[in-house]
Amino acid sequence: MAFSTTLYNTFFRRNSVFVSTIFVGAFTFGIGFDTAVTSFYDKWNKGKQWKDIRHKYVEAAEE
Amino acid sequence: MLSRQALRKAASPLLRQKSIPLAVRNASTSSSSTAFQSFLNSRLTLASVSLLTAGSVAWYTHLYGSLPFLAEVHASHASDEGLHPPKYPWPQDGLLDTFDHASIRRGYQVYREVCAACHSLDRIAWRNLVGVSHTVDEIKAMAEEIEYTDGPNDEGEMFQRPGKLADYMPAPYPNEEAARAGNAGALPPDLSLIVKARHGGADYIFSLLTGYVDPPAGVEIRDGMNYNPFFPGGAIGMARVLFDGLVEYEDGTPATTSQMAKDVVTFLHWAAEPEHDERKKSGLKAVILLSAMTVISLYVKRFKWTPIKNRKIFYDPPVDKTH
């Protein structure tokens, strides 16, 4: 009861807060989800992608 | 008639007694009722024999790929279809596997040094290679080595200029006729989408490049043609182009025929599907999100319907209060 009341009072009571919560939530979830999936994907494909071999050629170009 | 009679006889002594006059009447045609007879005529026997027959025909068809006792006639010889390529374990095979970009880089080198003499790669621009197999500076330098015709300029004339990132890969021949004339009438196809354009895709092209052998006895190959069992028809205009040690890889990988074939096919696979790596990542995200949404919607549905599904409706007849 207490939790749902707090929840209601903080997020649902005022429409402005409610809408901004959704927007901010979607934004942060988007970034977080993308970061999580990308880090898994990069681990899974370790050593195969361009970012894994790039350093060999960038240094060579600078020398 | 016969079987039904026999069955009835075997089935029930009562029935047998009743049917005696009938049996007498048909004495000449109906045989005596033995245990063997009733076995032959039983439904169980019929069913199991049918099952055995259908089963062995199905098994034969599964094993040999054709129905038994039925000869097949083909207007074409099986070699017209080309040998089916074996399935190779590519690094990009799995649902979540990206290309091996070091291999794309080596494959570009093979394309440039070998295949580009005959094959164009129309749909790939220099900029497409940036961040895939080469750095910007490398690509700029490579593009600048090639002269492109541009224009018209202020005087209305075409002029030559060094290549830039936005230019597409230069073609070896100015037009199809020139390409055919240079290859004994055979047109070397553009390789941009070749992996998508052939049955068997990457496996086929790898097999084609490594599959050149002497024609078997009885197969005649015209002058200027080459025998390759993987090519439909067997006779291909392109000769074997990859030989051990043909290129020198900068990363020290031994340039065997199969290594070069693998690398150039990986490069061509990337050229046909440049979105490949990103596509698989988006697919992973979509599957995660959609399955989470499915679970949530199933839960919400049950949550909302629980009171409705569990309610009991009672009929409370109105009490007549007038008495």
Q: Tell me if B77 is assigned to a ligand binding site.
A: no
B51, part of any domain: yes
B290, part of any domain: no
Q: Do B22 and B5 meet the contact criterion of CB atoms below 8 Å apart?
A: yes
A63 touches chain B (CB under 8 A): no
Q: Which of residues 178-197 of B touch A (CB under 8 A)?
A: none
Q: What are the two backbone dihedrals, phi and then psi, of residue B173, each rounded to the nearest 5 degrees?
A: -125, 145
B64, part of any domain: yes
Among B118, B124, B137, smallest CA distance to B168 is for B124
- What pLDDT does residue B11 have? 47
Question: Could you give the angle at which helices B276-310 and A15-44 cross, rounded to 10 degrees?
Answer: 130
Among B279, B246, B277, B280, smallest CA distance to B263 is for B246
Q: Which of residues 101-160 of B touch A (CB under 8 A)?
A: 101-102, 105, 131-135, 137-138
Q: Do B68 and B60 meet the contact criterion of CB atoms below 8 Å apart?
A: yes
- What pLDDT does residue B27 have? 52
Among B133, B140, B130, smallest CA distance to A56 is for B133
Q: Domain total for chain A?
A: 1
Q: Do A47 and B124 meet the contact criterion of CB atoms below 8 Å apart?
A: no
Contact at CB, A57 and B285, closer than 8 angstroms:
no
Q: Do B283 and B296 meet the contact criterion of CB atoms below 8 Å apart?
A: no
Among B205, B199, B178, smallest CA distance to B115 is for B205
Distance in angstroms (rounded) separating the CA atoms of residues B39 and B7: 9
B129, part of any domain: no
- What pLDDT does residue B15 have? 46
Single-letter amino acid code for the residue at B130: V
- What pLDDT does residue B196 have? 97
SS3 content of chain B, % helix, strand, coil (to 5): 50, 5, 45
Neighbouring C-alpha atoms within 13 Å toward the C-beta of B208: 23
| Mutant choice from A35, A50, A62 vs B, greatest count of B C-beta within 10 A | A50
Distance in angstroms (rounded) separating the CA atoms of residues B43 and B45: 5
DSSP state of A34: H
Minimum CA–CA partner of A47 in chain B: B100
Q: Tell me if B269 is assigned to a ligand binding site.
A: no
Distance in angstroms (rounded) separating the CA atoms of residues B131 and B161: 25
Among B116, B127, B125, smallest CA distance to B171 is for B116
B298, part of any domain: no
Contacts of B105 in chain A (CB under 8 A): 53
Q: Token pair for residue A42? A: 């990069």
Among B211, B206, B252, smallest CA distance to B93 is for B206
B87 touches chain A (CB under 8 A): no
3-state SS, residue B147? strand
B285 touches chain A (CB under 8 A): yes
Q: Do B205 and B238 meet the contact criterion of CB atoms below 8 Å apart?
A: no
Domain housing B51? 22-73
The pTM of the full predicted model, rounded to 2 decimals, is: 0.80
Q: For position A6, which CATH number holds?
A: 1.20.5.260
DSSP state of B129: H
Domain housing A12? 2-62
According to DSSP, the residues that pair with B134 across neighbouring strands are B130
Minimum CA–CA partner of A36 in chain B: B285
pLDDT in tens, A4-48: 999 999 999 999 999 999 999 999 999 999 999 999 999 999 999
Q: Domain total for chain B?
A: 1
Contacts of A56 in chain B (CB under 8 A): 251
Instruction: Please state the separation of Cα B179 from the chain's center in Å.
Output: 31
Give the distance from residue A59's alpha carbon to the nearest chain B alpha carbon, in angstroms: 10
Question: Residue B100, exposed/middle/buried by CB under 10 A (0-12, 13-18, 19+)?
Answer: buried
A61 touches chain B (CB under 8 A): yes
B40, part of any domain: yes
Mean pLDDT by 10 residues, chain B (323 residues): 48 48 53 78 93 94 85 79 94 97 98 97 97 96 96 95 97 96 95 96 97 93 94 95 97 97 98 98 98 98 96 90 74
Distance in angstroms (rounded) separating the CA atoms of residues B109 and A31: 37
Pairing of strands B226-227, B159-162: unpaired
Interface confidence, given as ipTM, is: 0.87
| Mutant choice from A29, A33, A38, A45 vs B, greatest count of B C-beta within 10 A | A45
Averaged pLDDT of chain A: 92
- Helical ranges in chain B per DSSP H: 2-11, 13-18, 20-25, 35-41, 43-64, 101-113, 126-129, 136-144, 176-182, 194-197, 201-210, 257-272, 276-310
Instruction: Please state the separation of Cα B252 from the chain's center in Å.
Output: 34
Contacts of A26 in chain B (CB under 8 A): none
B53, part of any domain: yes
- What pLDDT does residue B1 have? 44
User: Phi-psi bin for B306: left (phi > 0), alpha (psi -120 to 50), beta?
Assistant: alpha
Among B257, A41, B165, B238, smallest CA distance to B265 is for B257
Among B151, B190, B185, smallest CA distance to B170 is for B190
- What pLDDT does residue B73 have? 78
